[in-house]
Structure 1
Amino acid sequence: MINSKYLLFLMVISGMLGCNAQVKSAGNPVIKGWYADPEGAIFEGKYFIYPTYSDKYEKQVFMDAFSSKDLVTWQKHERIIDTASVKWAKYAMWAPSIIEKKGKYFLFFSANDIQKDNQGGGIGIAVASHPEGPFKDYLGKPLIDKFYNGAQPIDQFVFKDGDNYYLIYGGWRHCNMALLNDDFTGFKTIDGETFKEITPQDYVEGPFMFKRNGKYYFMWSEGDWTGPDYKVAYAIADSPMGPFKRIATVLEQDPAVARGAGHHSLIKIPGKDEWYIVYHRRPIGDTNGNHRATCIEKLEFDKDGFIKKVQLTDKGVSARPLKKK
């Protein structure tokens, strides 16, 4: 007969081992509240997510950020920027993109959802000394406030390639690339053009670019942002200017998990060929157009360098602490 105290000891120990053996997962969505168009980044040894606050246009007057040491537990940084610090921005602050340069953090964003030239709004820049802000207007005016090549000035992404910093942006089914000047106050030219159109087949919005094994991967969102057909596709080229020929869809809805998955970014683990996709999606059965939730999944490649189809999950990703420097 087993001693009752010994049996209790075994139960406690086995329970502890069981807890330790379980891999902690983030769960999707990874952050509470309605957030969309997330940009993932790594700064100062932490993961960051910079999303759009998803609500009616007139309520989109600020942006929050979130940081984590392990992709699982997230800290909210409230109102890292708002229209009070950007006098020309009135509403519809969308799709932040951030990059560090010489110890400063530059946050690119769009505001006012302009529908024509000289309406007042477009793509702007804010700057801060820390990744969690607070951010202040950098130029005092939009960086881009007109339509070039038919591209609405929204959905900006900053891509660093060597010493070059490119701004890739555009809605209304057109995408432009522009080479930023050294202090981000304007642009240099590419092949004699300030705004070079790189629009691939079926492009709608949400551009993202990265480089892997010498190849340039260009990703974008297709479909209606409020609908179930919203998804992400990609192309590969030898140059950041393309040409980009659509290869496949890599992220889309799963009717058993969520609807309308799109407008993403990627996080790469430093020194590793290890990638995560940060994106938004819609809950099943929820018809409110602004109810978008930010999620994270693993992103993987096959042996030929093509991106594998991403599987939507409710579990999310396992804890992935960053190595301390």
Structure 2
Amino acid sequence: MKDTYTNPVGGITGIGDPYVLKHESRYYLYATSAINRGFKVWESPNLVDWELKGLALDSYYEKNGWGTEDFWAPEVIFYNNKFYMTYSARDNDGHLKIALASSKSPLGPFKNIKAPLFDRGLSFIDAHIFIDQDGTPYIYYVKDCSENIINGIHISQIYVQEMSQDLLELKGDPVLAIQPSQDWEGINDAWQWNEGPFVIKHEGKYYMMYSANCYASPDYSIGYAVAETPLGPWIKYSGNPILSKRMDKGISGPGHNSVTVSPDGSELFVVYHTHTYPDSPGGDRTVNIDRLYFEDGILKVKGPTRSPQPGPRSN
């Protein structure tokens, strides 16, 4: 194992929305990145040292011409012996939509199998597929505030639906999971966000981590909600946010996370972005990892950190 690591890791900048998949003994990192026609992929043996491996998905080679720009928030799962990627992009009609792609390798190339996955005449982003222990797939996604206007307020809300076993269809009606409701989420602002959902299960309960506030703001932060079922109802933790800025340490806008495990499987790690330049926050972000743990049913993070931390445990 690496004796220590110090955030940010991997020397990766110019990204956002980092998602890490652990498959067998390797880690694969996907993120919103500057190519703006697809997604880069990085590989690591230990969660700390990352090597750029190329493009996991390149829309230039797609023949249907779907997706023109704003390629955001890729996530990859290994399911039924295949790798599936969800992501969002702007379609020719101007709306942001979610797509589903697949590959035989975590490095790609990923090819669209359903783009868009659904079309409701508005913008939807930040898809996250969660496979429950009974094998039922669920998809969490964001109705984006760019077009979702309620009583004059631009608001991003997180919805959930069950999926078909082949992941190609959404079942039932959309269920509103969470929306901005806590003071730290800017509930008096004209633009409000709950986005970037990521669900984990612990001792029979479901924990949805999410981000609130504008991604370009130092106040972009992570909270979580808890439910007894994947469809909810979801109750936000009263102690939110659990990960927020530390400008005294040069930490601005920690958010849009994923969760993975250490090489030996004994530790949980949250993977999240922070602004590369805290004094000039924006779309240029970098990758961080910190330990995640549970204490009396409360989800906690040992972070955000900028000092040396013990390396992720390995076998």
Counterpart position of 1:90: 68
In structure 1, how many angstroms separate the alpha carbons of the residues matched to 2:308 and 2:43?
17
Q: Name the structure 2 match of 1:17.
A: none
CA distance in structure 2 between the aligned counterparts of 1:265 and 1:254, rounded to whole angstroms: 20
1:246, 1:49 → 2: CA distance?
28
Q: Deviations over 1:121-146 (max 9, x none)?
A: 5000111101111111112x300232
Q: Secondary structure at the match of 2:60?
A: helix
Report the counterpart of residue 102 of structure 2 in structure 1.
127
Paired residue for 1:12? none
Q: Give TM-score scaled by structure 2 length.
A: 0.83
Q: CA RMSD in A?
A: 2.4
CA drift at 1:119: 3.9
Give the CA deviation at 1:31: 3.8
Q: Against the structure 1 CA distance between its residues 198 and 316, is the aligned structure 2 distance closer, same or farther, given a 3 Å change threshold?
A: farther
**Structure 1 residue 136 and structure 2 residue 107: aligned?**
no
1:205 and 1:220 in contact (8 A); partners too: yes
- Aligned counterparts of 2:309 and 2:106: Cα–Cα separation in 1: 23
Q: Does 1:145 align with 2:116?
A: no
Seen in structure 2, the aligned counterparts of structure 1 residues 126 and 313 have a Cα distance that, compared at 3 Å, is same
- Runs of 4+ with >6 A deviation: none
Once the two structures are superposed, what CA deviation does each residue of 1:143-189 show, in whole Å capped at 9, x if it has no partner?
023257xxx41011111102111110103221111211122221222
**2:57·2:111 contact (CA, 8 Å) conserved in 1?**
yes
- Matches of 2:278 and 2:264 in 1, distance apart? 41
Work out which of the two has the higher radius of gyration on C-alpha atoms and give 1 or 2: 1
Match of 1:252 among 240, 244, 247: 244
Closer/same/farther in 2, CA of residues 283 and 32 from structure 1, 3 Å limit = closer
* Equivalence map 1:214-229=2 (5 Å): 214-229=204-219
Q: Distance in 2 between matches of 1:272 and 1:68?
A: 15
Identity within the alignment, %: 27
Distance 2:265 2:58 in 1: 35
Q: Establish whether residue 37 from structure 1 lines up as the match of residue 17 from structure 2.
A: yes
Counterpart mapping for 1:68-217 below 5 A: 68-86=44-62, 87-112=65-90, 119=94, 121-139=96-114, 141-146=115-120, 152-161=123-132, 162-170=134-142, 171-172=144-145, 173-189=156-172, 193=173, 195-200=174-179, 201=181, 202=185, 204-217=194-207
TM norm structure 1: 0.81
Gaps of 5+ in 2: 146-155, 186-192
| CA displacement at 1:273 relative to structure 2 | 5.3
SS of alignment partner, residue 256 of structure 1: helix
Deviates more, 1:209-218 or 1:235-244: 235-244
Long gaps (5+) in structure 1: 1-19
| Per-residue Cα deviation, 1:42-67 (whole angstroms, up to 9, x for no partner) | 113212211110x4xxx511211112
Say if 1:154 and 1:63 are closer, same or farther in 2 by CA, change over 3 A. Answer: same
For the structure 1 residues 182 and 88, does the alpha-carbon distance in structure 2 shift closer, same or farther, using more than 3 Å as the test? same
Q: Distance in 2 between matches of 1:36 and 1:145?
A: 25
Residue range with higher mean Cα deviation, 204-213 or 278-287 = 278-287
What does residue range 277-316 of structure 1 map to in structure 2 within 5 Å? Answer: 277-287=270-280, 289-302=282-295, 304-315=296-307
Amino acid at match of 1:249: P
- Cα contact 1:40–1:48 (8 A) shared by 2: yes
Q: What amino acid is the match of 2:43?
A: S
> 1 or 2, which has the higher strand percentage?
2
C-alpha separation in 2, matches of 1:142 and 1:316: 43
Q: What amino acid does structure 2 have at the position aligned with 1:133?
A: G
Contact 1:207 1:220 survives alignment (8 Å): yes
Q: Is the 8 A contact 1:301 1:307 kept in 2?
A: yes
More helix by share: 1
User: Would the alpha carbon gap of residues 89 and 322 (structure 1) be closer, same or farther in structure 2, given more than 3 Å must change?
Assistant: farther
- Give the direction of change, closer, same or farther, for the CA distance of 1:104–1:253 in structure 2 (3 Å limit): same
Give, as a single letter, the amino acid of the residue that structure 1 aligns with 2:126.
D
1:157–1:176 Cα change, 3 Å: same
